[in-house]
Amino acid sequence: MSRASVILCGVLLIFSFIVGFAYDREAFLFLDEIEIGMRGIGKTIVSSNTISEFAVEILGVIDEPKTHSDFIVVRVSGEAIGRSGGISQGMSGSPVYIDGKLIGALSRAATWSKEITPIGLVTPIEEMLGIIESIKGDTFSLGPREEALLSEVQLVELDRPPHTDLLKGSPDTIFTYPVSSPLLVTGLSGRALKILMEGADSMAAPEGLLAEFLPLGIHPVVCGLSSFGLTLNPVSGGKSGSFIDGDALEPGSAIGVALASGDVTIGALGTLTYREEDAIIGFGHPFLLNGEAAFPLTSAYIYDTMKAYDASFKLGTLGESLGAILEDRISGIGGLIDRSVDLITLSLDVFERDAGRSEDFQIELVDEPRIMPVLLLASGFEAIDAALDRIGQGTVEVTYQIFGDGMPTPLERRDVFLSTRDIAIYPPWQLASIVSLLQYNDFQDPKISNITASMQFTQKLSAMHINHLELDQIIYEPGDTIHYQVELQIYHGEKRIEEGEIQIPIDLIADYIVVRAYGGPRYLEAGETPIEFEDLSELIEAVEDLPSYDTLTVELFAPDPFSPYIEALQGVEEVETELTGYFLYDEREVNALLLLPE
Strand spans (E) along 307-439: 313-329, 332-337, 343-352, 357-366, 394-404, 411-419
Phi/psi for 126 (5° steps) reads -65, -30
CA distance 377 to 229: 20
Q: Find the range with the poorest average confidence among 60-64, 346-350, 396-400, 449-453.
A: 60-64
Residue 168 has pLDDT above 90, yes or no: no
Closest CA to 34 of 56, 7, 50, 55: 56
pLDDT one-digit tens code per residue, 181-200? 789 999 999 999 999 999 98
* β-pairing verdict for 587-594 and 512-519: antiparallel
9 or 247, which is more confident? Answer: 247
Closest CA to 545 of 418, 414, 446, 434: 414
Residues 6+ apart with CB under 8 A from 485: 468, 469, 470, 497, 498, 499
The confidence score (pLDDT) of residue 475 equals: 96
**494 confidence band (pLDDT: 50, 70, 90):** very high
Sign of the dihedral defined by the CA atoms of residues 118, 121, 124, 129, in that order: negative
Question: How many CB atoms within 10 Å of residue 431?
Answer: 29
pTM greater than 0.85 (yes/no): yes
CA distance 314 to 521: 50
The confidence score (pLDDT) of residue 23 equals: 55
The confidence score (pLDDT) of residue 563 equals: 72
Residue 114 has pLDDT above 80, yes or no: no
The confidence score (pLDDT) of residue 316 equals: 85
Question: How many CB atoms within 10 Å of residue 499?
Answer: 11
**457 confidence band (pLDDT: 50, 70, 90):** very high
Residue 310 has pLDDT above 70, yes or no: no
- The total number of residues written for the chain in this structure: 598
**525 confidence band (pLDDT: 50, 70, 90):** confident
Q: What is the mean pLDDT of the chain?
A: 87
Q: Where are the alpha helices (DSSP H) in 169-303?
A: 190-198
Phi/psi for 128 (5° steps) reads -75, -35
**161 confidence band (pLDDT: 50, 70, 90):** low
**241 confidence band (pLDDT: 50, 70, 90):** low
Residue 4 has pLDDT above 50, yes or no: no
Residue 267 to residues 131, 199, 264, 332, 481, Cα–Cα distance (Å): 21, 17, 10, 16, 62
pLDDT one-digit tens code per residue, 78-108? 998 888 888 888 889 999 999 999 999 998 8
The confidence score (pLDDT) of residue 140 equals: 45
Q: What angle do CA 227, 93, 372 make, to 5 degrees?
A: 30
Averaged pLDDT, 466-490: 97
Q: Where are the alpha helices (DSSP H) in 355-440?
A: 372-388, 426-439
CA distance 39 to 157: 25
For residues 103 and 40, the answer to whether their CB atoms sit within 8 Å is yes
**165 confidence band (pLDDT: 50, 70, 90):** low
Angle between helices 426-439 and 536-545 (to 10 degrees): 160
Residues 6+ apart with CB under 8 A from 169: none
For residues 385 and 424, the answer to whether their CB atoms sit within 8 Å is yes
Instruction: Tell me the DSSP string of 434-491.
Output: HHHHHHT-SS----EEEEEEEEEEESS--EEEEEEEEES-SEE-TTPEEEEEEEEEET
CA distance 37 to 60: 8
133-147, 220-234, 293-307, 455-469 — most confident range: 455-469
Task: Find the helix or strand (DSSP H, E) in which 14 lies.
Answer: helix 3-18
Residue 15 has pLDDT above 60, yes or no: no
Closest CA to 403 of 361, 345, 351: 345
Residue 232 has pLDDT above 50, yes or no: yes
CA distance 220 to 198: 14
Phi/psi for 248 (5° steps) reads -90, -5
Give me the domains of the chain, ranges plus CATH numbers: 3-178 (2.40.10.10), 183-341 (no CATH), 344-458 (no CATH), 463-594 (no CATH)
